[in-house]
Amino acid sequence: MKFIWLEIHSACSMEAGNIFISDLASFAAKHGFSWVGLADSNGFYGLLPFISACREKNLKALVSVRIKTPVADALLVARSMRGYAHLCRIITLGLANDAALKGEIIKNCQNNFMVISADFSLVKECRENGFAEINPLMSDYFTAYQRAHAEKLEPVLIYPVYFISPADYRITRILSAVRLNKKLDSLSKEDCISEEAYFLSEEEICRRYAHMPDALDNTVKIAQKVFFEFNTGGIIMPEFTGGDFYTLKNLVEKNLPRRYAEPIPAAVLKRLKDELAVIREKNFAGYFLIVHDIVKKQAFTCGRGSGAASLVAYLLYITHVDPVKHCLFFERFLNLHREDPPDIDIDFPWDTRDQVLEYVFEKYGTAHAAMVANHVTFSLRSALRECAKIRSLEETEISRAAQSITHYYHCKKDQTITRVSRQGGAWAEIYRDALPLCGILRYLSVHCGGVVITPKPVSYYAPVEKAPKGVPVIQFDKDQAEDFGLVKIDLLGNRSLAVARDALSMIEKNYNIKISYADFNPLDDQKTISLLAAGNSMGVFYVESPAMRQLQKKTGHGDFEHLVIHSSMIRPAANRYIREYIARLHGKPWQPLLPEMKELLAETFGIMCYQE
């Protein structure tokens, strides 16, 4: 190739680009690209999906970012994972408008990343790592080219792309109006990205800019020099200071007599030995100690999810369900062949959850702890609203139109757009413009409870920015964080847990009876079992729906084991199996589908109910 596109902005460029990652990879593969340079503004929001999409298409992904702040404006291209880490820190500084940003670029570019900028003083400071940016979409680009030569700087042609073809410019203008909160007809030329910021053929690029051959050649030289295989190196396990595997082992063994009466059952001791062996082999002791440290600061907690299958978690009082008694498989949570990190969801009373987060940030510091992001994209409803607002329509009319769209819009099932398009007029145009916006990144929000704790500063692994509520948040969403290898700990707020806490408090206050939440075990309380068997569970978390209460009445069973079965099978599509289950529960004879399944499915009378 004679020219490489080094600056491509995707739909993750915060209401600027409108090229979806999958479309970019498909376009690049179709047109014979070798290298593709994604360079979204001030962020790596779409980097991991981009790298994955490029691998699927056998493309070489360049790890780049356009830094655009009051302090510096430059295109930075990483040369290694170390260079990527430096770019994460630089993005973090840039988003904070840190005055040290430019100095950080100059100090760390050597062998780590290339610096391409129209700020020639910055380019000079970066020496052999600096290139003079020649942007042909600027009117004075040839003057910049001549000046670069006069100052003995290497020029490189940077043709920024924000949309694939000229037809997509309409969407780019709409995004500009939304971003600037302006009416569509009031946008100036300066408000908008250039209408020429789309892909040209390689032949056309080389024909137009043949008078700058070295600027064209340098795009290829840079791509060849900077490309590297992006590889995170596996799970990034948080470190617990003041403890190791033996700390964990001693802690769970100390708690054995609290959870089990002497003599400790042999099955429990064997299970504990097996779990500890896996945890030691996988080097996950620090994770359990960190979660235990967080949980022990609060009197009322409840661990759930697949982590409930861990005896170690039960002995640490992270979870409160005995996995041995209830036959929960530890292998579903952790095993030697599973590459995923452990994942335990922990509930706290809704009104103390912020205290828990404060403790985490205080203990590990905001340098080593951050929240996970949610990537908030345009839905059809929000896109419709914005496309109508920039055309000065009345709010009542906009709301009426938005409410006609289902929350989970499906273009083949929802006929609203087809009907409106046939009617013509302004709304037909609005609907037409709203559809392509769906899925474009608008802003970040904070995940409801996901926290990452890292051995090195968080900004070594991912760019960090400050959320409006003041907490640090990484630019990755939960799936990207896990793909990168970051271990997410979910610290969630739960109103039902607060109700349980307040009920225990009122019992102590009004009846002078103190019930310890940690040691409280209601599973054998006959009054509770009878209450649930009668379906009187309004206000009881997870089992208060009308369908669930009706199932409880029909079965007449309120013990914990049956409650778990019932809450697992109460699904709309399972009615036929629910009726059969009730009949078998009340004595109807049954045979397993296969003889080998008889013992395995005995508790559910041959009906498959659990994932295991």
Q: From 161, 196, 191, select the one nearest 17 (Cα to Cα).
A: 161
State whether 190 and 285 are in the same domain.
Answer: no
Q: Over 70: is that where the pLDDT of 418 sits?
A: no
Q: Over 90: is that where the pLDDT of 139 sits?
A: no
More confident residue, 574 or 436: 436
State whether 475 and 528 are in the same domain.
Answer: no
State whether 454 and 434 are in the same domain.
Answer: no
**Confidence band for 426, pLDDT divided at 50, 70 and 90:** confident
State whether 399 and 453 are in the same domain.
Answer: no
Give the Cα separation of 236 and 256 in Å (integer). 30
pLDDT for the residue numbered 589: 94
What are the tokens at 69?
């702040």
Lowest mean pLDDT among 67-71, 136-140, 336-340, 407-411: 407-411
Lowest mean pLDDT among 413-422, 558-567, 586-595: 413-422
Give the Cα separation of 579 and 582 in Å (integer). 5
Domain boundary among 161, 196, 226: 226
Are 115 and 127 in contact, with CB atoms under 8 Å apart? no
pLDDT for the residue numbered 576: 87
Global pTM?
Answer: 0.89
Q: Over 60: is that where the pLDDT of 223 sits?
A: yes
> For residue 554, what are the domain limits?
522-604
Distance of CA 541 to the CA centre of its chain: 27
3-state secondary structure of 501: helix
Tens digit of each residue's pLDDT (9 = 90 or more) over 28-74 = 999 999 999 999 999 999 999 999 999 999 999 999 999 999 999 99
One-letter amino acid at 529 equals I
Domain-located, residue 286: yes
Q: What are the b/e assignments for 21-60, b being 16+ CB within 10 Å?
A: beebbebbbeeebebbbbbbbbbbbbbbbbbbbbeebebb
Domain-located, residue 611: no
**Confidence band for 412, pLDDT divided at 50, 70 and 90:** very low
Tell me what the pLDDT averaged over the chain comes to: 92
How many domains would you assign to the chain? 4
Domain-located, residue 172: yes
State whether 477 and 565 are in the same domain.
Answer: no
Domain-located, residue 8: no
Tens digit of each residue's pLDDT (9 = 90 or more) over 448-493 = 999 999 999 999 999 999 998 899 999 999 999 999 999 999 999 9
Domain-located, residue 171: yes
Domain-located, residue 453: yes
Q: Over 60: is that where the pLDDT of 163 sits?
A: yes
Q: Over 70: is that where the pLDDT of 423 sits?
A: no
Give the Cα separation of 201 and 206 in Å (integer). 9
Domain-located, residue 233: no
> Please, where are the H alpha helices in 96-200?
101-108, 120-125, 141-150, 169-180
Q: Over 80: is that where the pLDDT of 232 sits?
A: no
What are the tokens at 334?
């952790």
State whether 253 and 325 are in the same domain.
Answer: yes
State whether 221 and 253 are in the same domain.
Answer: no
Give the Cα separation of 109 and 72 in Å (integer). 14
CA distances from 474 to 42, 98, 259, 353 (A): 13, 17, 38, 20
4's CB contacts (< 8 A; 6+ apart) are 33, 34, 35, 37, 219, 220, 222, 223
What are the tokens at 587?
């004595």
Element (H or E) spanning 110, and its range?
none
Largest CA distance in the chain: 94
* Beta-sheet pairing, 130-134 with 113-117: parallel
**At how many degrees (to 10) do helices 426-434 and 169-180 cross?**
90
What are the tokens at 382?
């929000």
State whether 406 and 324 are in the same domain.
Answer: no
**Confidence band for 600, pLDDT divided at 50, 70 and 90:** confident
State whether 219 and 255 are in the same domain.
Answer: no
More confident residue, 6 or 427: 6
State whether 167 and 101 are in the same domain.
Answer: yes
State whether 150 and 77 are in the same domain.
Answer: yes
More confident residue, 66 or 408: 66
Domain-located, residue 16: no
CATH code of the domain covering residue 55: 3.20.20.140
pLDDT for the residue numbered 305: 85
State whether 110 and 167 are in the same domain.
Answer: yes
Please state the rounded mean pLDDT for residues 204-217.
96
Are 193 and 176 in contact, with CB atoms under 8 Å apart? yes
What is the rounded (10 degree) CA torsion for 162, 167, 173, 175?
-60
